[in-house]
Every structure is written in C-alpha cells, then in structure tokens.
Amino acid sequence: MAKDWIKTAVNPKHKGYCTPMTKATCTPSRKALAKRFKSKGFSKHQKGGELKILIDRINKKDVNFINRLKDPNRLTMPNWADPNGYSTHKIAWAGYNGQAVVYPQVQEVNGNLVDFTNPAFKKWDGLKNAIAHGDTIMEKPKLAKQFTENYKKFYPTFHKGGSINYNISNILKVWKN
C-alpha cells in the first residue's frame, strides 16, 4: 500500500497546476510535492530520459575509452570481421555479482588500436587488458546494456548502436592463465 500513495496524492486532471510554481492553482501542498519530485529527479524524462542522464554521468568519468568516444577525430582501424568497415571501440559489458563492467573490445595500446575480438586473442583478453589499464566503468547491468546498445547515438560520427554481453562468472577461473 505504501507504494500506491502517489495514486491518491496526484490527480492527473491537475497536470500543469504548478507550471510555473507561481501559478495561482499551485497550492502550498502542491508546490511542496512538485519541489520534492523535482529534487529527486522525477523530472528526468524532461531532461532527455534515463539514457541521456546515464550518458551525461559517464561523460564525466576520466577513462581512456570514454575520452576517445568524445573525440570526433578518434582513431579507427579496419574491422577484421567486415573488410569494408572500421572499428573504434566495440563496447561490451560483463556481469558479475549484480554489477557490470563496461569496457571496450577495441583498445588503445601504445598509441595503436588493438581489436581483442580478433580470433588471435582469447575470449577474455579484452576484459583483462581493460581492467589492467583502468579502461573500464562499473554500472548496473540494466544501464550497462542500455549504454552498450545505444552509445553510438550520443557520440560524434556514430550512427548505430551495438551490444556485446558476457557473464564473467567464469573469468576468475581464466584470469590466472
């Protein structure tokens, strides 16, 4: 019952009564509720939605692959799987203990890009290298999935998103190899 209090507290017919809050229909109790909603991020959809907020938060992180994403003149390399294509990141995520590690499969190593999805590498080499060099971010699995599927829509010169998802419960076994 505690979760349903909002249904009785807000009347849909009163939408806009407190926009702006100086409006005569904005009673003190409505104003208080509107301020509470606004302060707790209930207006996130007006700011571009959950994904936009996630991208804005991720952009503040000082991680190499995020900085490369923001650079419109980022390094590119031929895509080994598609001779007509190019790769810059191939962002993936791996879930572990309710968290997710987001990392690039294409990483900058000594000033050059290396594609760890290439069959010359083992499955976990990209994740291992990203962790070893601090080229990762931690997110909740739902947000990691959203980010990897949609990041290309938010950074310059990308057009489509992609997603690679792994469960790394077995990575501890291969980490020592």
The 10s digit of each residue's pLDDT in 117-142 is 999 999 999 999 999 999 999 998 98
User: CA–CA separation, 141 vs 144, rounded Å?
Assistant: 5
Q: Which amino acid is at 20?
A: P
Contact between 175 and 123 (Cβ < 8 Å): no
* pLDDT reading at 174 higher than 70: no
Q: Band the pLDDT of 97: cuts 50, 70, 90.
A: confident
Contact between 126 and 92 (Cβ < 8 Å): yes
Residue ranges of alpha helices (H) inside the chain are 5-9, 28-39, 49-59, 64-70, 125-132, 141-150, 171-175
Q: Band the pLDDT of 92: cuts 50, 70, 90.
A: very high
- 56 HSE (CA, 13 A, CB side): 8
Which of 61, 65, 62, 83 has the alpha carbon at shortest distance from 74? 65
pTM of the model: 0.64
User: CA–CA separation, 50 vs 54, rounded Å?
Assistant: 6
Q: Band the pLDDT of 3: cuts 50, 70, 90.
A: low
Per residue in 14-62, pLDDT tens?
A: 777 777 778 888 888 777 777 776 665 554 444 456 777 888 888 899 9
Which of 102, 100, 71 has the alpha carbon at shortest distance from 88? 71
- Residue 19 has a pLDDT of 76
Q: Where are the domains of the chain?
A: 63-175
User: CA–CA separation, 69 vs 92, rounded Å?
Assistant: 14
**Any idea what the Cα angle at residue 22 is, between residues 17 and 25, rounded to 5°?**
35
Which of 175, 129, 161, 176 has the alpha carbon at shortest distance from 55? 161
